[in-house]
């Protein structure tokens, strides 16, 4: 239902077509810059006639989890090192941008993150932002994580690699075996530039070629190049396997290769929520998510295996909850982390969580179910 392929245009939804490149909600003085306002807007929607009456707890209870979501063994520590970014993408759930200069993780907070990593010994440390590379301590954090033998992911917007300060960054990441997960809206110019501004597609290709030149995208398990994409409008992500084949064929025409594609449903929060409301698509999109609820996604939800840490050292069940200010149950600060309480907690949920359980599901690792 409503799935996108590379041939879909941004006009797939009406009346708003698709979100366009913008500025941050905070820079525009928007009420929805406040997480509490976003939650109020979602809660105010009349979804009584929608599946599960719009209640996520009811949906998962119907799937056999009457006591709510509970964690699985912790595998990923995701660290958001700040909201500063050189771009302001239309779908950004972080509301990141060049104006977000004050939300920046310090080295002291990073040290506290590393103490937690030493305690819980995750398989992966996932470093995100904003553009995480703009944090002045980014490389120090990467080096410290590499020393600990964990798999490191850098969530990269590609164009940051073209900044003068980033000239050696592709080689730096390659030498340390860091997986680079790069956001790219679409394998064609029109849709990418629509979300990110004129010329962004060509800049993204240039950055991808730089990564290819140092071994990324060649099938080397130590230099994994992942592309991450969200739909261009108010519809669900398409079939990840088939679209990966299409993307590889399309980008090969530009002399670019990558290892895997992961697709994320757009979460109805932050800038995408603002666009949904202004374009008249909000209720229809929420109903689409509700109607596409897939119980097969529940076991793989990232909130079950992930601890999300904000730039100021607060703890969350996932990156989306972090952006909505929904702290995890129990001690929710680095300096008070209780591993046993964290393992026993009930994961906190709200209506936005339907974005992760719709269709094939959605997570920082891509689709959660096949055959949806």
pLDDT band at 16 (very low <50, low <70, confident <90, very high): very low
Per-residue pLDDT at 192 exceeds 90: no
Beta strand 76-80 with 306-309: parallel, antiparallel or unpaired?
parallel
pTM of the prediction?
0.92
What pLDDT is stored for residue 11 in this prediction? 30
Beta strand 225-229 with 179-183: parallel, antiparallel or unpaired?
parallel
The tokens describing 244, both together, are 């990966």
pLDDT digits (tens, 9 = 90+) for 218-236: 999 999 999 999 888 899 9
What pLDDT is stored for residue 128 in this prediction? 98
Question: Would you report the helix, strand and coil content of the chain in percent, each value rounded to 5?
Answer: 40, 10, 45
Sheet of strand 151-156: strand arrangement: 260-263, 225-229, 179-183, 151-156, 124-128, 76-80, 306-309, 315-316
Per-residue pLDDT at 43 exceeds 90: yes
User: How confident is the prediction for the chain on average, in pLDDT?
Assistant: 92
Q: What percent of the chain has pLDDT over 70?
A: 94
Q: From CA 109, how far away is CA 81, in angstroms rounded?
A: 9
- Look at 312 and 18; give whichever has higher pLDDT: 312
pLDDT digits (tens, 9 = 90+) for 347-359: 999 999 999 999 9
Best mean pLDDT range from 25-29, 108-112, 239-243: 108-112
Per-residue pLDDT at 78 exceeds 70: yes
Per-residue pLDDT at 207 exceeds 90: yes
Q: From CA 55, how far away is CA 286, in angstroms rounded?
A: 11
pLDDT band at 20 (very low <50, low <70, confident <90, very high): low
**CATH superfamily for domain 71-266+300-335:** Aldolase class I (3.20.20.70)
User: How distant is the alpha carbon of residue 92 from its chain centre?
Assistant: 8
Q: From CA 98, how far away is CA 84, in angstroms rounded?
A: 6
The tokens describing 58, both together, are 């009811």
Q: From CA 67, how far away is CA 70, in angstroms rounded?
A: 8
What pLDDT is stored for residue 105 in this prediction? 98
What pLDDT is stored for residue 31 in this prediction? 97
Q: Who's near 19: CB < 8 A, 6+ residues apart?
A: 90, 91, 195, 232, 233, 271, 272, 275, 279
Domains of the chain, residue spans = 71-266+300-335
Phi, then psi, of 80 in degrees rounded to 5: -90, 110
pLDDT band at 370 (very low <50, low <70, confident <90, very high): low
Mean predicted confidence (pLDDT) in 283-302: 96
Q: Who's near 187: CB < 8 A, 6+ residues apart?
A: 6, 246, 247, 250, 251
Q: From CA 38, how far away is CA 97, in angstroms rounded?
A: 19
pLDDT digits (tens, 9 = 90+) for 110-169: 999 999 999 999 999 999 999 999 999 999 999 999 999 999 999 999 999 999 999 999
What pLDDT is stored for residue 210 in this prediction? 98
Per-residue pLDDT at 182 exceeds 80: yes
Per-residue pLDDT at 9 exceeds 50: no
């Amino acid at each position: 239902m409503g799935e996108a392929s590379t041939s879909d245009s941004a006009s797939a939804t009406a009346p708003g077509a698709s979100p366009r490149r913008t500025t941050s909600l905070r820079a525009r003085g928007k009420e929805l810059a406040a997480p509490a306002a976003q939650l109020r807007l979602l809660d105010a929607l009349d979804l009584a006639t929608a599946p599960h009456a719009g209640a996520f707890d009811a949906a998962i209870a119907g799937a056999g989890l009457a006591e709510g979501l509970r964690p699985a063994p912790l595998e990923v520590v995701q660290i958001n090192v700040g909201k500063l970014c050189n771009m302001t993408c239309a779908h950004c759930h972080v509301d990141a941008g060049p104006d977000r200069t004050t939300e920046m993780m310090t080295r002291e907070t990073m040290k506290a993150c590393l103490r937690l990593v030493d305690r819980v010994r995750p398989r992966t440390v996932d470093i995100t932002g904003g553009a995480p590379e703009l944090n002045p301590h980014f490389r120090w954090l990467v080096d410290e994580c590499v020393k600990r033998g964990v798999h490191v992911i850098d969530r990269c917007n590609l164009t940051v690699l073209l900044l003068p300060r980033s000239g050696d960054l592709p080689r730096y990441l390659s030498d340390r075996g860091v997986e680079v997960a790069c956001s790219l809206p679409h394998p064609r110019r029109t849709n990418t530039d629509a979300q990110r501004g004129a010329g962004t597609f060509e800049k993204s290709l240039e950055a991808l070629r730089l990564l290819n030149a140092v071994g990324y995208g060649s099938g080397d398990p130590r230099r994994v190049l992942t592309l991450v994409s969200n739909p261009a409008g108010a519809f669900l992500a398409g079939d990840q396997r088939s679209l990966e084949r299409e993307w590889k064929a399309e980008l090969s025409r530009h002399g670019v290769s990558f290892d895997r594609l992961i697709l994320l449903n757009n979460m109805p929060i932050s800038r995408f929520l603002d666009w949904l409301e202004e374009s008249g698509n909000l209720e229809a999109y929420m109903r689409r998510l509700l109607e596409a609820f897939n119980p097969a996604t529940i076991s793989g939800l990232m909130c079950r295996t992930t601890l999300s840490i904000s730039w100021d050292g607060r703890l969350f069940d996932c990156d989306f909850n972090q952006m909505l200010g929904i702290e995890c149950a129990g001690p929710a600060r680095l300096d008070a982390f209780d591993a046993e309480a964290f393992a026993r907690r009930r994961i906190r949920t709200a209506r936005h969580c339907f974005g992760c359980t719709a269709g094939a599901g959605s997570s920082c690792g891509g689709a959660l179910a096949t055959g949806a």
